[in-house]
Structure 1
Amino acid sequence: MKNEVIMLREGFSACPVPDEVKERIKGVTYKENSEIHMDDLSYLNIRYLDFSHNIADGEMIVHKSLAKEVLEIFEMLFEAEYEIEKIRLCDEYDGDDERSMADNNSSAFNFRNVAGTQELSLHALGRAIDINPLYNPYIVGDKISPANSAEFADRGADFPHKITHHDLAFKVFASKGWHWGGDWTNSKDYQHFYKNKENLVKSAVDKIKKLVAD
């Protein structure tokens, strides 16, 4: 798949990772590996409304196959005046996911494992996005991440920026076929939206079934 330059409108664009950005992320969020190459990634400019309801511009890196739909997702959130505190590359936190979450930074690509495991995270493939993570923590057992989000672990409580099935972020991501960590059974990741790599064989079978049904 070609890594295209995409311009939806002012403030919403995607392109191959620029050289200066490559230098910023090498050895930080991007590490040499056999799973994903720099050319598989797209660099996005994203406009959003911050918590003061001011227009701000952020940057994000995702898998190139998801670039256009991620821009469309954030354009829909922007049009609906959905507030996101900040959108920065995790490199501004030296690739430290805990620090990024603690600062309520919404982000995507970071070549790392799932916290506490040896399993590669979908963030490492540019296929996951965390939204307002301080208010929407990752909870497994009695561990809450980020550590300063304990007051937001009670999902029955009423507070702003809480992602639920009724929240616009959930509805917009779901409309594009993304899944939500808040639906997990053994843990809950309320900030986390993700899209698995397409199973090409299953996709082909589904298309054939649809053609036959039609």
Structure 2
Amino acid sequence: MSRNGNHILSSAMVDSDLTFAEAVSGSSAPGSVLDDLRLVEVAYYGFDGRRHTGQLVVSTAVEQDVREIFALILEIRFPLHSVIPIVRYGWSDEASMEANNSSAFNYRFIAGTDRLSRHALGMAVDLNPRQNPVIYENGQILPSGAIYSPGQPGALAESSPIVEAFLQRGWFWGAHFRNFRDYHHFERPEKFPL
């Protein structure tokens, strides 16, 4: 049983077992944002074929969606490398991506802008950045050295049940951005019906 009182799979490899306070420690987010966040324990299969447990910090507005989608991820055995709150990567999106970590809340701005990312409110989820990289118009790929190959284990594609599950719940997939493709990114738009 984890310290936060949740219990999913006692025989699973534990990738993350933080308390909520530990998961948001050092974040620059204001109290109004932190008060709306929840620490969600999730189960999934790793690339090693074993069951794992990890954690995501998400907004209460999307908590149920995230729980349902991760239940699907577990059911269809879609492999994830790790699911660890980004505090373990020093609040660095780049370090989390390099480690192929799936994550959610990170109080930060959209790269190259002064606008808050949906991650800053716990309203976005990234899955397997190395299998699902960001590909810019100029050909730059992040994380460095990643290869997008739909159909490979851990890679997402338009026909993926996970992509469909997010879209059916009103989320937006970063592969549909106009100027670049962010294959690992899903976000709940600012205005959506609850």
Same fold (TM over 0.5): yes
Give the TM-score of the pair, scaled to structure 1: 0.76
Contact 2:59–2:123, Cα closer than 8 Å, also in 1: yes
Higher gyration radius (CA): 1
Residue of structure 2 aligned with 1:119, choices 115, 119, 122: 115
Structure 1 equivalent of residue 155 of structure 2: 162
TM-score by length of 2: 0.83
Question: 1-side partners of 2:34 and 2:120: how far apart?
Answer: 11
| 1:104 Cα deviation after fit | 0.6
Q: Which residue does the alignment assign to 1:25?
A: 24
| Equivalent position to 2:142, from 141, 145, 155 | 145
CA deviation string 1:139-193 (max 9, x = no partner): 22333211231xx15x5x7643221101222122122221101011211100001
**Alpha-carbon deviation of 1:46?**
0.3
RMSD: 2.4
2:80 counterpart of 1:87: no
Question: Does the CA contact (< 8 Å) of 2:106 and 2:122 recur in 1?
Answer: yes
Between Structure 1 and Structure 2, the one with more helix by share is 1
Who is 1:196 aligned against?
Answer: 189
Q: Structure 2 CA distance, aligned partners of 1:63 and 1:195?
A: 10
Mapped to 2, the partners of 1:101 and 1:192 lie a distance apart of 11
* Residue-pair matches, total: 181
Cα deviations across residues 81-124 of structure 1 (Å, max 9, x unaligned)?
11111100111110111110011100000000111222110000
Q: Provide the C-alpha distance between the structure 2 equivalents of 1:70 and 1:162, rounded to a whole number of angstroms.
A: 18
- Note the residue ranges of structure 2 that are not aligned, 5 or more in a row: 1-5, 10-17
- Alignment-derived partner of residue 15 in structure 2: none
